[in-house]
């Protein structure tokens, strides 16, 4: 089973941890705490490739939920390698968080080509209905980056139930991420000074063998 | 110059300061948040405008601008407005926003206002009791006079000033001087990064396993129609092997380790940046400033100790003393009146500007470190309150630094306070704050030096 790495980025306090909990456990996060560094959660996705017509394959989606403190900016660079998809999260009640999304994208995109991006507007339950109605096809940030947008509330498990537009857009995003992961591309040499982690054989046996 | 035209000048400068506070708030302090309640923005800007106005009035006093009557009138106005802000408006709104953010309390506005009023009355009572043990003023004043309020605000403000000065006087040389810069090797940074990524790999592997186990549990639950948690656990126990919950808790432990590693990495990177900065021109300039500040800090500590031990009360301000030395000991021929005015003007002006700038920088640092989406309003109101008390007390303490002929306006406006008490109190708190900061920073420095030596030994 293959894994894909999806970064979850956004300002501090927008609801990234709640969102990731909703995506992986399909339930509400009852006691959110400040994320320091990176919190890793794993979800499952079944991918059927229309082109090759293969059977469905199960993929592990690793969500790297990175804490948004401005003072930790100098140490976050270690998480940005080998990324296959990016979720940009902003708070619908605070417009400044949406304006900062392009800065987050710029900070995390290290290579020449950008992986698939999806913009998510969180806390829609705290927002007035007319403000939501003004943005049916995505707000400013999504338009500038050129990617779709989902509006949801992380405390409402029905926002992502099967069949809704949100769930369809999310599935399409996952498929794009997996296709980005599977496509053949020239291997890039590691950057100077980049840490290369190779788990030793004993650790691998413990983790994967069982 | 009549009172009318003077008032126009003062109003114009107050409006300018108000606009300055407004812009600072929107563009710098609150740049990551949206302003949802305008009262927060307005009260912060008004506090800032009044504080700058008070300093401006001192400068006018020295230079002799404006009519003395209008100066006195504007002084009284500023002090009165500042007291109302610091004692009534800001605490009430802080209580109101604190109650609004508590989710378990009812949402109706009348209930919230009533609760906020009750909290505010509690605050006023506490504020009053705070001032009882201090010899603030002479006994021939009534209970609710202006001097009582100013006296109490002065105590709190002087305490804050002394704490911040003490800590700042020790911390600034420590952060600027190159002797304290910790050398960090690139290999140490890479080592921590590697360990962090390995830990995250472990967490990912455990969580992958937990995800598969959860899916299996959900499928088996659906297949057999069980929906009760203990039957699912019983089924898992029958199935030999760990449950999703146990693997999840193991992953949580590893994640905690990952968090510690991340914080260590952040420390190392910050130290590395500091070392790189110290090699630049700006870094060398700050190093020099650090040495100057170190000398100032030692001198201030000695003078505070001497003041307290010998119970010395300074009668002569530094300006007059310096001029006295110049004329009598060094033999310069100076027009004392003229030079006293010039030097006071520059001294008070520089002190006012540096104290405003220093306080704004410190408050901004506190705000960025502590504020979040929910607490941003409360934090700003608390900071505005600290700012108001701080500036009111710095006017009080500045009286000491001015020649006698300019002092009397402050004495007149602030009333008959025991000014010597405030200076003594400042010295005591400054000494306490500086010595505990030295102890704290020394311990922290020893710890980090020990840790980096340990790591370099490990890498070798």
pLDDT of residue A208: 43
pLDDT of residue B141: 54
- Asked whether residue B304 carries a pLDDT value surpassing 90, the answer given is no
Mean pLDDT of B264-287: 86
Q: Does the beta carbon of A202 lie under 8 angstroms from any beta carbon of chain B?
A: no
Q: Does the beta carbon of B84 lie under 8 angstroms from any beta carbon of chain A?
A: no
Write the pLDDT tens digit of every residue in B3-16. Answer: 788 888 889 999 99
Nearest CA-CA partner of A174 in A54, A64, A85, A110: A85
**Does residue B340 share a domain with residue B288?**
yes
- Taking CA–CA distances from A3, the nearest residue in chain B reads B208
- Asked whether residue B17 carries a pLDDT value surpassing 90, the answer given is yes
CB of A66 within 8 A of CB of B229?
Answer: no
CB-nearest to A195 from B193, B212, B369 is B193
Q: Do A42 and B258 touch (CB under 8 A)?
A: no
Final residue before a domain boundary, out of B254, B280, B306? B280
E strand segments, chain A: 2-9, 38-47, 57-66, 85-91, 117-122, 149-151
Final residue before a domain boundary, out of B250, B280, B310? B280
Q: Give B423 to chain A, closest Cα distance, Å.
A: 38
In this prediction, residue A191 has a pLDDT band, given cuts at 50, 70 and 90, of very low
**Does residue B310 share a domain with residue B168?**
yes
- Asked whether residue A109 carries a pLDDT value surpassing 50, the answer given is yes
- Asked whether residue A55 carries a pLDDT value surpassing 80, the answer given is no
- Asked whether residue B323 carries a pLDDT value surpassing 80, the answer given is no
Write the pLDDT tens digit of every residue in B95-106. Answer: 888 888 877 777
The pTM (predicted TM-score) of the whole model is: 0.78
**Does residue B147 share a domain with residue B245?**
no
* Poorest-pLDDT segment among A18-22, B33-37, B125-129, B135-139: B135-139
CB of A178 within 8 A of CB of A45?
Answer: yes
Q: B323 versus B75: which is more confidently predicted?
A: B75
Mean pLDDT of B346-373: 83
- For residue A93, list chain B residues with Cβ-Cβ distance below 8 A: 34
Q: Do A40 and B266 touch (CB under 8 A)?
A: no
Final residue before a domain boundary, out of B257, B280, B303? B280
**Does residue B358 share a domain with residue B256?**
no
- Asked whether residue A201 carries a pLDDT value surpassing 50, the answer given is no
Task: Provide the CATH number for the domain formed by A3-182 in this structure.
Answer: 3.40.50.300
DSSP B328: I
In this prediction, residue B230 has a pLDDT band, given cuts at 50, 70 and 90, of low
Write the pLDDT tens digit of every residue in B374-395. Answer: 788 888 999 999 989 888 888 8
pLDDT of residue A202: 42
**Does residue B303 share a domain with residue B382?**
yes
pLDDT of residue A196: 42
pLDDT of residue B436: 92
Q: Give A126 to chain B, closest Cα distance, Å.
A: 13
**Does residue B434 share a domain with residue B322?**
yes
Any idea where the domains of chain A sit in the sequence? 3-182
**Does residue B64 share a domain with residue B202?**
no
- For residue A74, list chain B residues with Cβ-Cβ distance below 8 A: 266, 269-270, 273
**Does residue B350 share a domain with residue B248?**
no
Write the pLDDT tens digit of every residue in A127-151. Answer: 777 666 666 666 777 777 778 888 8
**Does residue B273 share a domain with residue B324?**
no
pLDDT of residue A204: 41
Torsion of CA B382, B387, B393, B399, to 10 degrees: 180
- Taking CA–CA distances from B34, the nearest residue in chain A reads A94
φ, ψ for residue A8, nearest 5 deg: -115, 110
Q: Does the beta carbon of B37 lie under 8 angstroms from any beta carbon of chain A?
A: no
CB-nearest to B201 from A75, A197, A210 is A197
**Does residue B175 share a domain with residue B203?**
no
pLDDT of residue A198: 41
- Asked whether residue A59 carries a pLDDT value surpassing 70, the answer given is yes
Q: At a CB cut-off of 8 Å and minimum separation 6, what does B143 contact?
A: none
Average pLDDT value for chain B: 82
Q: At a CB cut-off of 8 Å and minimum separation 6, what does B134 contact?
A: B151, B155, B421, B425
**Domain extent for B265:** 186-280
**Does residue B226 share a domain with residue B148?**
no
**Does residue B410 share a domain with residue B266?**
no
Q: Does the beta carbon of B270 lie under 8 angstroms from any beta carbon of chain A?
A: yes
In this prediction, residue B238 has a pLDDT band, given cuts at 50, 70 and 90, of low
Q: Does the beta carbon of B27 lie under 8 angstroms from any beta carbon of chain A?
A: no
Q: A53 versus B430: which is more confidently predicted?
A: B430
Q: Do A94 and B273 touch (CB under 8 A)?
A: no
Q: Model ipTM?
A: 0.81
Specify the number of domains making up chain B: 2
Q: Does the beta carbon of B368 lie under 8 angstroms from any beta carbon of chain A?
A: yes
Mutate to test the interface with A, among B188, B266, B268 (most CBs of A within 10 A): B266
Q: Does the beta carbon of B215 lie under 8 angstroms from any beta carbon of chain A?
A: yes
CB-nearest to A13 from B258, B273, B372 is B372
Q: Do B203 and A44 touch (CB under 8 A)?
A: no
- For residue A63, list chain B residues with Cβ-Cβ distance below 8 A: none
- Taking CA–CA distances from A10, the nearest residue in chain B reads B32
- Taking CA–CA distances from B370, the nearest residue in chain A reads A69
CA angle B360, B366, B372 (to 5 degrees): 120
Q: What distance in Å separates the CA atoms of residue B66 and residue B76, rounded to the nearest whole number?
A: 15
């Amino acid at each position: 089973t293959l894994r894909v790495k999806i970064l979850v980025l956004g300002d501090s306090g927008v609801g990234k941890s709640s969102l990731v909990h909703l995506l992986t456990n399909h339930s509400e996060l009852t006691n959110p705490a400040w994320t320091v560094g990176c919190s890793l959660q794993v979800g499952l996705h079944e991918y059927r490739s229309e082109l090759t017509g293969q059977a469905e394959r199960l993929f592990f989606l690793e969500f790297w939920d990175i804490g948004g403190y401005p003072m930790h900016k100098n140490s976050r660079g270690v998480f940005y390698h080998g990324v296959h998809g990016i979720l940009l999260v902003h708070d619908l009640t605070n417009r400044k968080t949406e304006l900062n999304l392009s800065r987050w994208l710029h900070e995390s995109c290290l290579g020449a080509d950008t992986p698939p991006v999806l913009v998510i507007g969180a806390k829609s339950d705290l927002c007035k209905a007319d403000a939501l109605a003004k943005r049916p096809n995505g707000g400013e940030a999504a338009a500038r980056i050129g990617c779709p947008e989902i509006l949801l509330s992380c405390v409402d498990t029905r926002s992502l139930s099967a069949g809704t537009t949100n769930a369809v857009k999310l599935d399409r995003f996952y498929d794009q991420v997996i296709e980005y992961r599977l496509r053949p591309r020239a291997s890039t040499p590691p950057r100077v000074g980049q840490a290369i982690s190779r788990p030793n054989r004993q650790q691998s046996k413990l983790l994967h063998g069982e | 110059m009549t009172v009318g035209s003077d008032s126009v000048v003062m109003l114009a400068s107050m409006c300018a300061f108000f606009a300055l506070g407004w812009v600072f708030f929107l563009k710098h302090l609150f740049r990551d948040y949206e302003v949802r309640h305008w009262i927060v923005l307005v009260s912060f800007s008004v506090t800032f405008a009044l504080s700058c106005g008070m300093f401006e009035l001192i400068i006018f006093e020295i230079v002799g601008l404006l009519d003395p009557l209008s100066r006195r009138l504007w002084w009284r106005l500023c002090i009165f407005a500042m007291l109302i802000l610091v004692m009534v408006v800001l605490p009430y709104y802080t209580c109101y926003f604190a109650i609004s953010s508590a989710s378990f309390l009812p949402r109706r506005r009348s209930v919230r206002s009533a609760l906020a009023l009750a909290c505010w009355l509690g605050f006023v009572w506490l504020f009053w009791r705070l001032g009882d043990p201090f010899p603030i003023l002479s006994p021939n004043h009534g209970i609710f006079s202006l001097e009582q309020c100013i006296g109490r605000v002065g105590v709190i403000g002087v305490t804050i000033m002394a704490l911040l000065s003490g800590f700042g006087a020790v911390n600034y040389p420590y952060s600027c001087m190159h002797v304290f810069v910790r050398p960090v090797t690139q290999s140490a940074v890479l080592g921590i990064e590697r360990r962090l990524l390995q830990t995250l790999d472990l967490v990912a592997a455990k969580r992958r396993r937990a995800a598969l186990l959860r899916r299996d549990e959900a499928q088996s639950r659906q297949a057999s129609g069980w929906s009760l948690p203990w039957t699912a656990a019983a089924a898992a126990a029958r199935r030999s092997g760990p449950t999703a919950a146990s693997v999840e808790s193991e992953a949580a432990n590893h994640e905690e380790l990952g968090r510690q590693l991340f914080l260590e990495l952040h420390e190392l990177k910050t130290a590395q940046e500091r070392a790189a900065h110290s090699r630049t021109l700006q870094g060398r300039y700050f190093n020099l400033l650090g040495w100057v500040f170190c000398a100032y800090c030692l001198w201030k500590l000695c003078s505070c100790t001497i003041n307290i031990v010998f119970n010395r009360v300074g009668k002569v301000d530094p300006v007059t003393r310096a001029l006295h030395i110049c004329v009598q000991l060094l033999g310069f021929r100076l027009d004392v009146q003229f030079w006293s005015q010039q030097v006071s003007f520059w001294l008070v002006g520089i002190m006012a500007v540096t104290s405003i700038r220093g306080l704004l920088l410190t408050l901004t640092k506190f705000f960025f470190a502590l504020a979040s989406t929910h607490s941003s309003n409360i934090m700003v109101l608390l900071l505005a309150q600290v700012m108001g008390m701080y500036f009111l007390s710095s006017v009080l303490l500045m009286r000491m630094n001015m020649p006698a002929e300019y002092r009397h306006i402050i004495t007149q406006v602030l009333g008959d306070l025991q000014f010597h008490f405030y200076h003594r109190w400042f010295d005591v708190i400054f000494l306490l704050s500086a010595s505990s900061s030295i102890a704290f920073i020394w311990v922290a420095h020893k710890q980090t030096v020990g840790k980096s030596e340990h790591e370099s030994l490990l890498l070798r």
